[in-house]
Every structure is written in structure tokens, then in C-alpha cells.
Amino acid sequence: MLHIEGLNASYRGLKALQGVSLDVAKGEIVAVVGANGAGKTTLLKSIAGLVATEGRIEFDGTDLRALKAHMISRAGVGLVPEGRRLFPRLSVEDNLRLGAYAVEGPERFKPLELVFSLFPRLAERLKQRAETLSGGEQQMLAIGRALMTGPRLLMLDEPSQGIMPKLVDDIFAAIQRIRDLGLTVLLVEQRLAEALEIADRAYVLQTGRIVMSGKAADIAGDADVRRAYLGL
């Protein structure tokens, strides 16, 4: 579904990604893990058309580098950004409905059923302002808003950030359910153990380069990975 080859990206002359190549097949969870500053967020922004890049990014055979960001979203690529980026003074309901602003036709709000089945708390808090929710509930809302666009590829940037442990488990369980419902997931995450537990395959990103890739279970069991990222 997603093919990236030789991807380079820079910020003010500083190389953030260097020759990154990866693939994501339909219906799988692929995790990109690594330390802060490794280039994980830049990778997702590059796919979403938010960062100038060199290289090849194809989604279902379409060259994403030829499209503007809003066109990439309409093509079926949804992004849940780091820090959630909600509209804090708007209600849960309005945040979700705004997620479907570019969707046309009578079925534009149909994904609400999916969102509420994944996150019943949101249905209970429809009229609350987003800023009054807990960190975990805000992350649920951010994921829900992305699902309102009807994506085929859902990209999540650090979904566990700033969330209490119990709700982290809920978020990762929801990501698995999203995959089981037929969506494809590209997950960027610092919590390596949890990410590799739910992923099918994974890539390790270090200082802008892919240094390891393979089945998630194999990477989780690699001695170097366990020492560098798990402290074992």
C-alpha cells in the first residue's frame, strides 16, 4: 500500500532523514521506533505532505510527492499528529465533525459509529469541550477525528505520549481493533515494547536512517535493541 524509497528530508540545512526506504502492506501494523530526534515525526510529516522531501513516496501507486497535503488526506492517508492538535474550546462532537469537513455525500458522518464503538467514552462526553478531557481521552478524540476522514492508511505519531499507563493499554488495544477492521496502520512510537507487541513488522530509525527492519517479534528479541531501547 505504501512504498518509500531513498527518502531525504532536511530542516534548515540539517538532514532529518537520510535514504529512508520502507514498505507498508495492506492490513498490517508497521511500527517505526527509535529515540527522540531520530526522525520519526519527520517521516510521517513527509508522507502527509507537510515537509519538503527528495525520494519516492507512493500510496497505492500514486506519487504523493506530486500532491498537496489536503489532497493526500483525501487520497486516504490520515494522520494523528504528535501532541494531538485538537480544537480545545470546541466540543468533542464538533472536533469529530470537523474531521469530516472534506468528505462529501450523505455518509460523511457514518464513521461516528466506528469511533464510538472504539471509544465509548467519547459518546459519553459529546458536549464537553476538548480541553476538559484527560490526556488519554484527548488522544482517543484525536484518533477519532482522523478516522472521520475515512482513511485507508492511518498514521499515528506517539499515541502514548502524556497518557496514564491504564489508558495507554486502551489506546494500543484500539489500534489493534482498527487493524482488525481492515485499516492499515503506520505507528511511530517511543514505547518500543508496547509498539512491537501489536505490530506485524517494524523499522528502527536512528539519526535519520533505518538501521534495522524485520518482523516485530524478531526485533523485540534482538539483543542490541533490548540493550539500547529497553535497558535489558
Category of 126 on φ-ψ map: left (φ > 0), alpha (ψ -120 to 50) or beta: alpha
Q: Is the pLDDT confidence value at 2 over 60?
A: yes
Q: Is the pLDDT confidence value at 12 over 80?
A: no
Q: Is the pLDDT confidence value at 227 over 80?
A: no
Sequence-ordered alpha helix ranges (H) in 87-203: 92-99, 111-118, 120-124, 135-147, 165-180, 192-198
Architecture of domain 2-229: 3-Layer(aba) Sandwich (3.40)
Give the pLDDT confidence of 155-208 residue by residue, as tens digits.
999 888 888 888 888 889 889 999 998 999 999 988 888 899 999 999 999 889
How many CA atoms does the CB half-sphere of 224 hold within 13 Å? 6
Domain ranges for the chain, please list them.
2-229
The C-alpha cell of 155 is what? 498514521
Q: In this structure, which amino acid lies at residue 196? A: L
The pLDDT value given to residue 103 = 65
The pLDDT value given to residue 6 = 95
